[in-house]
Amino acid sequence: MTTLQTAISKVTVFRDAARVTRTGKVKLEPGPHKLIIIGITSNAESDSFRVKGRGPAKLSSIDVQTATEIFEPSADIKPLYDELKELGRTRLEIQDEIEYQQKRLIQVNNMVTEFTNHFGLVYAANEGDMKSLTDMDKKSTKLAEDIQKEIRRLTQELEELDDKIQILRNNIGRINAERRTVSSFNVEVALEVTSASNIELDVTYQTRGASWTPRYDVDLKPSMANLRRIAMVNNQTDEDWSEVDLTISTATARPVEAIEGKPFFITAYDPGAVKMDYGRARTAEGVPRPSMAPGVAGLAPPAPPPEIEEEFAEAAETVSGIAVYELPKKMTIPSDSEKHPVTLIEEGLESSTVHYWYAEGMAEVVAQDKVVNNESVILPGKMKVFSDGDYIGETSIGQISPREEFKIGTRVAHDVKAEKKLVEREMEKAGVLRGKLRRSYKYRLEIQSFSKRKIEIEVFDRVPHSVSTQIEVKIDWEKLAAKEHELGVIEWHRSLESNEKKTIEYAYEVLWEKDVTISPSLP
């Protein structure tokens, strides 16, 4: 049996796992050989091991075995337990002394109370003087103070003792934590070597404890958005990845199943009928159809990346929109609890700025960028947004499919001014309209652009929408010339050149029965 020394050479990180490749080389003579690779993390999936190699040899078999190693603590903790036991006895003695002093204090207080009550009768019978009462008060006060002082001293001593006990327990717990059982995997490989040569083996397995989450930086420009994709890689596999070829994949390692449609049979209940198995759909021959096989968790290795000048990953789209990113240089990611940022790619996305103003609820116009994604999916994650290099803020973004359009970078548009004005409002009393009331309104929306280039703006406003037959809202929708209107919400689209000002005017009236109260009230 020959122990093959291996090192992790390649890692593909999925969103919830990782595929690790270990590589080792050994010189072997012709004939049968058994190689063993030891110390593989227990986070590995036992049924995911695969072995490939290079050299004049044939692979006979592989055997995955579980190995267990017990690590004993190096320090002797018996003296610590003895000291802890002695401190526990001392603590009990101090507690007993505190209880004794507390009982003495109660007795002194009871004695003073009894003497005071009895002294009144003695003094009334001229059998005692005030000096006796004064002496008693001084002595009892002094005794009570001494007892309280002793209780405080004992209490402080008890607190210091508790601190020592806690430190001892912490030390004992730390030493006990060193006594642990560590499990790992060993892989035994049987080979038949045909000629003396160097044999190189690759052991590949899938492991838990690894994942990555997306993070993005986007810089919005007039016609282009520069999107930087960053992977926050988490390695808790108990194996350090040192100088490895790293690939980031948007796939998940969990199996996916396509569920086949099944008939739903119903019938009248008959307790004498024989139960039938409708759990699985059947073919015409009556043979149950096989269940759909779960999806393959792994991915075919992508093509090797071409040479590039900048240190960004090479992105490739595989089936179903899954993307893989191969890093151009070797990476080191230790096994710890930190998230390690890995820059994937920076790409330019088609972008255009649109302005938005809801006149009823917004005092200022906002700008957004309409961005079209490229060929790789954008996974849900946090995104830092910049506009021409100026930081806007941070937001969260949902999943964006390849070539999907989305909006990002909502910000105040300081180069566009908008204002809503009430031009006219009239109120007609009952009797004029046969017992009905009427109120009419006329508004003007003013939008002015101070931008250096042409802008597009979406303008929204609203008029009341009645859900009662006793209230009527009248408006000339054709004269309004709006793009859309639904339930009183109106939408206009306008284009403004630099320093151009445009207005939108509209009017409506509301009629209702005089005994009807409108809720909520009209403006």
Q: 283 pLDDT exceeds 70?
A: no
Per-residue pLDDT tens digits for 37-75: 998 999 999 899 999 989 999 988 899 999 887 666 656
pTM of the full predicted structure? Answer: 0.58
Report how far residue 442's alpha carbon sits from residue 423's, in angstroms, rounded to the nearest whole number: 5
Per-residue pLDDT tens digits for 80-98: 888 888 898 998 999 999 9
Backbone angles phi, psi at 127, to 5 degrees: -110, 5
Q: If we measure between CA atoms, which residue out of 522, 242, 255, 225 comes closest to residue 354?
A: 225
Q: If we measure between CA atoms, which residue out of 390, 346, 392, 389 comes closest to residue 368?
A: 392
- Chain-centroid distance of CA 86 in Å reads 49
- Per-residue model confidence (pLDDT) at position 279: 41
**Contact (CB, 8 A) for 62 and 188:** yes
| Crossing angle between the packed helical segments 130-177 and 78-124, to the nearest 10 degrees | 170
Backbone angles phi, psi at 294, to 5 degrees: -65, 155
Q: 316 pLDDT exceeds 60?
A: yes
Q: For the chain, what is the mean pLDDT?
A: 83
Other Cβ atoms less than 10 A from the Cβ of 388: the count is: 8
- Chain-centroid distance of CA 360 in Å reads 36
Tokens 């019978």 found at: 125
Confidence of residue 361 (pLDDT cuts 50, 70, 90): confident
Q: 221 pLDDT exceeds 90?
A: no
Question: What's at 483, amino acid-wise?
Answer: K
Torsion of CA 6, 7, 12, 18, to 10 degrees: 80
Backbone angles phi, psi at 112, to 5 degrees: -65, -40
Q: 293 pLDDT exceeds 60?
A: no
- Per-residue model confidence (pLDDT) at position 371: 92
Query: Max CA-CA distance within the chain?
Result: 127
Q: If we measure between CA atoms, which residue out of 425, 450, 454 comes closest to residue 438?
A: 425
Other Cβ atoms less than 10 A from the Cβ of 147: the count is: 20
**Contact (CB, 8 A) for 78 and 172:** no
SS3 of residue 231 by DSSP: strand
Per-residue pLDDT tens digits for 111-125: 878 777 776 666 666
Q: First-to-last CA distance in the chain?
A: 91
- Per-residue model confidence (pLDDT) at position 321: 64
Confidence of residue 295 (pLDDT cuts 50, 70, 90): very low
